[in-house]
Amino acid sequence: MGVHQKSSSLLRRGSELADTFIQLQVLQGQHPLASGQEFAPFAEKLAAHQLLPLTTQRITTLQINLGKRCNQSCAHCHVDASPDRKEAMTRAHVERCLWLAEQGDVQTVDITGGAPEMHPDFRYLVSTAAKMGKKVIDRCNLTILTANKQYTDLPAFFAENGVNVVSSLPHYSALRTDAQRGYGVFEASIEGLKMLNSVGYGKEGSGLELDLVYNPSGAFLPASQQTLEKEFRTQLQRRYGIAFNRLFTITNMPISRYLEYLLQSGNYERYMRLLVESFNPAAAANVMCRTMLSVSYDGYLYDCDFNQMLDMRIEGSAPHIDAIDGEGLQRLRHIRLGQHCYGCTAGAGSSCGGAVAE
């Protein structure tokens, strides 16, 4: 099934926003693209609520970004993933990630990309982590399941290894989904969901978890996660006979291609003001970076996936997976902060597991 791509990557187009330094300048109001708009530093907002220093707790999730190659090129992608991106994690770093996952209190191996399933060592990583007794999450865009014959057996592979499939679905209508992700994405996504349901995913008593991820199609915050989950469950069952376990709402981060969208559409100032004014200290206290370590395709370590995309490596002297051990994994450290952090702390909050303050 064909999926029409909306755009190529920022890197491929030679956009100045492909440079993470430029993105950070924009967010700090120090670049002409932002028209000189400055907002209160995120750290000051935390300090006003006695939330500084923001430090790590026990790291229970190791999130692994296998690379930026993807079969889609979505308008809001914070990774700048695309079919034209070739970056991929080496087998040596995959092995090191597995070694690190055995250390300390790591309970979950969270695999992302790009489309992580396109990586040659994806199945090896999944099956090995599953045999280690870890909860394995695959962040799947759904269309990969129908993109090529080499991926059509993935639902059975996921089921065999007890993988928690977390799938992006911007809406239960074709118009809104395709507007964000490209023509044909919705139809392919529905087919992918049916494939997962056919092997037991989302079905009561199967033990196979299928979770959906919703992010807004415009410059606004997501509605109530609980309300949206009920709406998606009703509509997907009624229209397509599709079942799923949970729906997670994620706020769009003002970085990479979504930052480009905000600037080009004239929504940047309004959206940033919305994030700042919607700051929720309860969400800030529960941000995902306190219990997660994020590994990039080239082995560098970050507090979260968003810091990774801005090249903000973890604090300390061992910012690479080859230089950290189990003790270093759990060593208390200060989380690196930036203006994009307002995205995780606005309203009900946002994380890879959805809202954090509802």
At 295-348, the pLDDT tens digits run: 999 999 999 999 999 999 999 877 999 999 999 999 999 999 999 999 999 999
Edge-to-edge strands, sheet with 210-214: 246-249, 210-214, 164-168, 135-140, 108-112, 61-65, 292-295, 301-302
Report pLDDT for 4.
45
**DSSP, res 246:** E
Q: How many domains does the chain have?
A: 1
Q: Please indicate, yes or no, if residue 232 is contained in any of the structural domains.
A: yes
Q: Please indicate, yes or no, if residue 121 is contained in any of the structural domains.
A: yes
Question: Which residues make beta-bridge pairs with 334?
Answer: 55
Q: Are 8 and 73 in contact (CB under 8 A)?
A: yes
Whether the link from the prior residue into 207 is cis, omega within 30° of 0, is: no
Q: Please indicate, yes or no, if residue 258 is contained in any of the structural domains.
A: yes
Q: Please indicate, yes or no, if residue 49 is contained in any of the structural domains.
A: yes
Report pLDDT for 36.
66
CATH of the domain at 96: 3.20.20
Distance CA 58, CA 293 (A): 10
Q: Please indicate, yes or no, if residue 251 is contained in any of the structural domains.
A: yes
What burial class does residue 175 get, using C-beta atoms within 10 Å of its C-beta: 0-12 exposed, 13-18 middle, 19+ buried? exposed
- φ, ψ of residue 45 to 5 degrees: the values are -65, -45
**Which tokens go with 119?**
């990586």
Distance CA 179, CA 189 (A): 14
Percent of the chain surpassing pLDDT 90: 84
Domain encompassing residue 245: 10-344
Q: Please indicate, yes or no, if residue 353 is contained in any of the structural domains.
A: no
Residue 358 has pLDDT above 80, yes or no: no
Q: Please indicate, yes or no, if residue 350 is contained in any of the structural domains.
A: no
At 47-78, the pLDDT tens digits run: 999 999 999 999 999 999 999 999 988 888 89
Residue 5 has pLDDT above 70, yes or no: no
Mean pLDDT across the chain: 93
Sign of the CA dihedral running 332, 334, 336, 341: positive
At 16-32, the pLDDT tens digits run: 999 999 999 999 999 99
Distance CA 235, CA 346 (A): 27
Residue 1 has pLDDT above 60, yes or no: no
At 69-127, the pLDDT tens digits run: 999 888 888 999 999 999 999 999 999 999 999 987 899 999 999 999 999 999 999 99
At 171-218, the pLDDT tens digits run: 888 777 777 777 788 899 999 999 999 999 999 999 999 999 998 888
CA 215 to chain centre: 11
Average pLDDT over residues 253-266: 94
**DSSP, res 211:** E
**Which tokens go with 128?**
């090995």
Q: List Cα–Cα distances, 22 to 18, 106, 342, 343, in angstroms.
A: 8, 34, 18, 19
Q: Are 256 and 79 in contact (CB under 8 A)?
A: yes
Q: Please indicate, yes or no, if residue 313 is contained in any of the structural domains.
A: yes
At 135-153, the pLDDT tens digits run: 999 999 999 999 889 999 9
Tell me the pTM.
0.95
Which residues are CB-contacts of 323 (< 8 A; sequence separation ≥ 6)? 317
CA 199 to chain centre: 25
